Amino acid sequence: MAQEEEIKYFVRISNTDLDGTKSVQIALTGIDGVGRHTAQIIARLAKVDTHATMGKLGEEEVVRIREVVDNYSSLVPPWSLNRPKDIYTGESRHIFGTDVSTTREEDVNLLRKIRCYRGIRHETGQKVRGQRTKSTGRTGATVGVKRKKE
């Protein structure tokens, strides 16, 4: 009989439990801040097959993936990072995990604090990026269209 490989259903990388039943490329997208393209780059830098099942990888391959994720900012060009120029430090870095939501909240709070147009739009709960608001994005008590009185 052929010996079946044991599959690990959870693989822990960057404080995130990844699905061991999915391919490496898809499983890595479970980390916040990692999309499909970034996942493919991580797998290539770690010299791991992107289509291999994550739970069937050996421990040394998982360690290589962890090292690439930890040193991702220094291994790729600056245009490939999700934070090309940090507001506070000025350095280029890539943010993973819970740092993504924390950093986004800090950025929005800074916009509110300096009272710029985008910050005011965030405060009032309106659309921020120039979308139309006359007929779409209605929430709350606004229902339907007012008719002109004859």
Distance between CA 34 and CA 50 in Å, rounded?
14
pLDDT tens string for the chain (150 positions)? 445 668 888 999 988 999 999 999 999 999 999 999 999 999 999 999 999 999 999 999 999 999 999 999 999 999 999 998 888 888 999 999 889 999 999 999 999 999 999 999 999 999 999 999 888 887 776 666 677 777
Separation of alpha carbons 108 and 123, rounded Å: 9
Give the residue from 79, 108, 132 where a domain finishes.
79
Same domain, 15 and 74: yes
Q: What is the CATH number of the domain that holds 37?
A: 1.10.8.50
Residues 20 and 59 in one domain: yes
Same domain? 88 vs 74? no
Query: For residue 134, what pLDDT is reported?
Result: 86
Q: Can you give the residue range of the structural domain that contains 59?
A: 10-79
Q: Are residues 56 and 109 in the same domain?
A: no
